Copies of this chain bind each other. A is one copy, B any other.
Amino acid sequence: MVTKSQVKYIQSLGHKKFRDEEGVFVAEGPKIVGELLQAPNLRLRQLYALKDWDGAPRQSQVIEVGPPELERLSGLSTPNQVLAVFEKPSFPPPDWDTGLHLVLDGIQDPGNLGTIVRIADWFGIGQVFASTDSADVFNPKAIQSTMGSVSRVNVVYGDPEAFLAGHSDLPLYAAVLEGRRLGEVGRVARGALIIGNESKGIRPGVMRLASQPITIPRVGKAESLNAAVATGIILSHIVG
């Protein structure tokens, strides 16, 4: 049985304000929830599941719900067996001086942001700096796109100009439409790759601090690439 106040609570977590106040986020579906349940730096708060879901860890209290109740709780168009509320992951303090990182300048679509976090995780990047006007990684849509990577990638929000100015000793790469051809860049072991807003790109103030503009050579006629796709392409060439 699900109470009205439980439904209201879960729905309130669609808003950043309430997620921040509570320090929690919502994940849905057996694949993502199953992966997050195994993350050592996440604590489960609530778990709602259909009777036939068999992924519950032994010690956890599962609130069994029927399909119509799950539908009332779910933010998905097709609810998928299980919905969990987790406390936000804990991470060690970020270290920007070692390894390669991402800097996101105004990635506004939560799906794009979540996909970028998943890509970062694939390429072994554990720290992402995002401008405060970027989407929240704990937004339900972003969480679904991260496919569980949210427990492994630390997304830190702040002012990218201040951040980059404070790390001007690092090689700072920027994904742009007119820069050095990606194939000529080679491997990058240290520094940051800056990815800009989906339609406006990187802000001039941020761009001024980037030392190395990179471009994915275009063969055909599309005007641009999706921001997450561009991130994946560049990382696949410079990480390794």
A77 to B129, CA, bound (A): 28
Tell me how many chains of this kind the complex includes: 2
A142 interface residue (CB < 8 Å to B): no
Contact with B along A29-46 (1 / 0, CB 8 A): 001000100000000000
CB-defined contacts of A220 to chain B, threshold 8 Å: 120-126, 152
Q: Which residues of A contact B (CB under 8 A)?
A: 31, 35, 111, 115, 118-126, 145, 147-149, 152, 182-183, 199, 216-226, 228-230, 232-233, 236-237, 239-240
Q: Are B119 and A225 in contact (CB under 8 A)?
A: yes
Nearest first, the 8 A-B pairs at minimum CB distance are A124-B220, A124-B219, A121-B222, A122-B222, A229-B232, A233-B236, A121-B220, A123-B219
CB-defined contacts of A221 to chain B, threshold 8 Å: 121-122, 124, 149, 152
Contact with A225, one of B111, B223, B230, B232 (Cβ below 8 angstroms): B232
CB-defined contacts of A115 to chain B, threshold 8 Å: 226, 229
Q: Are A219 and B240 in contact (CB under 8 A)?
A: yes
* A–B Cβ pairs within 8 angstroms, 23 of them: A31-B199, A115-B229, A118-B225, A119-B225, A119-B226, A121-B220, A122-B216, A122-B218, A123-B220, A124-B220, A125-B220, A147-B224, A148-B223, A149-B221, A152-B221, A152-B222, A216-B236, A219-B239, A228-B229, A233-B233, A236-B236, A236-B237, A237-B237
